[in-house]
Amino acid sequence: MKRDWSPFVLLLVDVVGDFWSSQAEKDHPHFSENVAALLYLCRSEGIEVVHVRNRYSTDMSNWMAAWKLWGRSPGVVGTEGAESLPFARETSGEAVFYKQGYDGFLNPALREHLDQRGKRFCLTAGLLTGTCVLLTTASAAQRGYLTAVVEDCSADRPESHSATLDYYAPWMFQRVRASEVIRSHDKWADEIKRLEEAGPDDVRPWSNGQQPGRIEDPD
């Protein structure tokens, strides 16, 4: 039976030259091939891919305040670093949304796009794990979407990458590897169904020390 991926979307965040370096490549040597494999999987399975990228004007008019003081910013229009890395470029028909800041949902058109298409579950991946991937994922979670970070398709300084994933999962997002996406479908589809059916009868007392938002039933 063909899997229904229509409620799912991959948000690929800031896979651009300004956030990728020779040191990053040493720290995450399989990142490029993992992202390429994830994109192939999504396109083959019918998971919508949405690209989210920084984009700032040359006149500083939409820069964040601190970056104005520094006199430099990633993602400036017309610079090489603002462009997508070759293995992560969009294909025909894939939406691209530009942001000014760390959170993709600061661009309201992103949520409008997802809601118009009935999305309920956001897979996120990209650069950097502890900033734009985290804050875009957190924003998705706070807007009512289920979320999972594709950890081997995200990268950051090793300590930040690990700390982000260890600290915020599972109460903000689930963790998944690219190779696990397909076999996670039925579990995630069931979570979407449970989410749509949840009501007052499902409320249980809070327990001190319990991790908030755990997907798995603690019983």
One-letter-per-residue 3-state SS of 139-185: HHHHCCCEEEEEEEEEECCHHHHHHHHHHHCCCCCEEECHHHHHHHH
Q: List the single range of 69-73, 107-111, 117-121, 199-203 with lowest mean pLDDT.
A: 199-203
pLDDT tens column, 124-143: 999 999 999 999 999 999 99
Domains of the chain, with CATH numbers? 8-196 (3.40.50.850)
